[in-house]
Amino acid sequence: MRHPTNPLKKDFPIFRNHPGLAYLDNTASTQKPDAVIEGVKRFVEFDYANIHRGAYGLSERSEILYERSKEKVRDLIGAATSAEIVYTYNSTYAANILSLSLARSGRLKKGDRVLVSIAEHHANVVPWLVLKEWFGVEVDYFGMTSDCEIDFADFESKMTPDTKVVAVTGASNVTGAVFDVVSLGKRISGMCDRNGEKPLFVVDASQSVPNYRVDVKEMHADFLFFTAHKMMADTGMGVLYGRKDLLKVLEPALSGGGAINWVKKEAFAPAGLPYRFEPGTPNIIGAVSLLHACEYLESIGGYARIEEAERPLISSALERFASLGDSVRLVGPIDPNKKIGIFSFTLKGAHVSDLAERFADANVCVRAGYHCAEPLAAELGLDGTVRMSLYFYNDENDLDAFFRVLEAVISETSE
């Protein structure tokens, strides 16, 4: 029996062009609504030019839209001013720019520690490990509870006086667990390192901003980053938020045209905020796509509408997983209120890549592997998982298509 189609699906042309497609790989990237596609098309057809210092109308219009995009993002995450919004190319670039700039500014030196959770995406692990390799910065991990939530006791025990940075994801891209980074930020704001300074709190909001409201002040976040393609905008577009007073004193790790005030043969002066962190021509089209993604989100009712569409699907998927028996191991919280729509699992007797192929054959898009979180897989004793992930345009028909395949494979493997 077919369920009613989610009315929001009609806003996304990919579903018109591929009837019957069950797109359940939203953690990797989300589909784009007409509002974004048409908005970008209009921009390229009518307003596109390079920004900064173009005296002509097209350049001015381009720049107005670029700045409007930042204003929208500022509002989206509760930043104080758009000077705190640095545009990068994705979350991974944002984390690298940040880590290298902290090292270049002497905020992270040999022997200083960076504490991350064991559930981090490689984007929030490898840039810190690079500092370990290059500068002798120590990297340590705190663990999770059995529900895959933050283990606050372990966190506290790892907060040594040498810990200068705590970098944690808002939600795991493998387990779907929503981390209580508001409590974490509050705790950190009451702590001091060896020099009497508050450790910096960095939030990887790559899976948060697409799904629920994030407020940098409420989290006491000093830095936060996310990537636009996971919230309906273009690829090659990312956001690094930094507290203005911190960005002001941070030496940018990268520089060049656009990021400077003046250049002489022997020297240069960096530009003001946030441009000193945006060397070279930015992804102007990506910025406009993010503007339209934010406007589209507002037009459908904001995060309340996302919650309204996703919550019943998350509960339904959890119930259906629970009914499958012991051969399926679902990792992550089983309380629907403690997770976003990410479901990673293994099936006894089936290899995860073979499983993913079976889904692909049935027009169901899921992903198999470590999901760029190998330390987490090692911690959970997993040799990869299949990951099914929802967004607000999915519906029960997509879940039906997914569970039809999974139930068929279970019955084959148990024969």
Nearer to ligand PLP, 101 or 207 (CB): 207
Residue with tokens 């559930």: 119
Cα 173 vs. chain centroid, distance in angstroms? 8
CB of 393: closest distance to ligand PLP in angstroms?
Answer: 19
Q: Which of 277, 336, 350 is nearest to 307 (CA)?
A: 336
Stretch that binds ligand PLP, among 6-14, 89-97, 261-269, 355-363 (CB under 6 A): 89-97
Identity of the amino acid at 60: E
Nearer to ligand PLP, 163 or 389 (CB): 389
CB of 193: closest distance to ligand PLP in angstroms?
Answer: 25
Q: What span, in angstroms and rounded, lies between the C-alpha atoms of 82 and 305?
A: 26
Site string for ligand PLP, 200-239 (x = CB under 6 A): ----x-xx-------------------x------------
Which residues on neighbouring strands pair with residue 345, listed in sequence order?
A: 330, 386
Footprint on residues 288-317 left by ligand PLP (CB under 6 A): none
Q: What span, in angstroms and rounded, lies between the C-alpha atoms of 149 and 333?
A: 8
Q: Does 121 bind ligand PLP (CB under 6 A)?
A: yes
Other C-beta atoms closer than 10 Å to the C-beta of 208 total: 24
Stretch that binds ligand PLP, among 108-116, 199-207, 295-303, 329-337 (CB under 6 A): 199-207
Q: Does 96 bind ligand PLP (CB under 6 A)?
A: no
Q: What are the Cα distances from residue 163, in Å, to 111, 139, 149, 166, 199?
A: 9, 9, 21, 7, 7
Q: What span, in angstroms and rounded, lies between the C-alpha atoms of 239 and 226?
A: 5
CB of 127: closest distance to ligand PLP in angstroms?
Answer: 11
Among 102, 115, 123, 406, binds ligand PLP (CB under 6 A): 123
CB of 241: closest distance to ligand PLP in angstroms?
Answer: 14
Nearer to ligand PLP, 173 or 283 (CB): 173
Contact in structure between 117 and 169 (CB atoms under 8 Å): yes
Q: What span, in angstroms and rounded, lies between the C-alpha atoms of 277 and 88?
A: 8
Q: What span, in angstroms and rounded, lies between the C-alpha atoms of 230 and 61?
A: 27
Q: What span, in angstroms and rounded, lies between the C-alpha atoms of 165 and 384?
A: 29
Among 173, 175, 389, 394, binds ligand PLP (CB under 6 A): 173
Stretch that binds ligand PLP, among 100-108, 118-126, 215-223, 257-265 (CB under 6 A): 118-126
Nearer to ligand PLP, 246 or 372 (CB): 372
Among 30, 92, 101, 283, binds ligand PLP (CB under 6 A): 92
Angle CA(309)–CA(310)–CA(314) in degrees, nearest 5? Answer: 140
CB of 208: closest distance to ligand PLP in angstroms?
Answer: 8
Q: What span, in angstroms and rounded, lies between the C-alpha atoms of 208 and 197?
A: 28
Q: What are the Cα distances from residue 320, in Å, to 164, 308, 317, 347, 350?
A: 43, 19, 5, 14, 19
Choosing from 148, 192, 365, 372, which is the catalytic residue? 372
CB of 269: closest distance to ligand PLP in angstroms?
Answer: 30
Nearer to ligand PLP, 124 or 289 (CB): 124
Q: Which of 182, 184, 125 is nearest to 376 (CA)?
A: 125
Stretch that binds ligand PLP, among 32-40, 84-92, 138-146, 243-251 (CB under 6 A): 84-92
Q: What are the Cα distances from residue 183, in Å, to 144, 220, 221, 228?
A: 15, 9, 11, 26
Nearer to ligand PLP, 39 or 127 (CB): 127
Pairing between strand 113-117 and 138-142? Answer: parallel
Residue 331 in tokens: 């990792």
Footprint on residues 256-285 left by ligand PLP (CB under 6 A): none
Stretch that binds ligand PLP, among 45-53, 87-95, 247-255, 352-360 (CB under 6 A): 87-95
Q: Which of 155, 129, 130 is nearest to 144 (CA)?
A: 155
Footprint on residues 345-384 left by ligand PLP (CB under 6 A): 372
Stretch that binds ligand PLP, among 120-128, 259-267, 278-286, 289-297 (CB under 6 A): 120-128
Nearer to ligand PLP, 101 or 169 (CB): 169
Q: Does 90 bind ligand PLP (CB under 6 A)?
A: yes
Query: Is residue 372 among the annotated active site residues?
Result: yes
For residue 274, say if its preceding peptide bond is cis, omega within 30 degrees of 0: yes
Site residues for ligand PLP per CB under 6 A: 90-92, 121, 123-124, 169, 173, 204, 206-207, 227, 372
Residues that are catalytic = 372
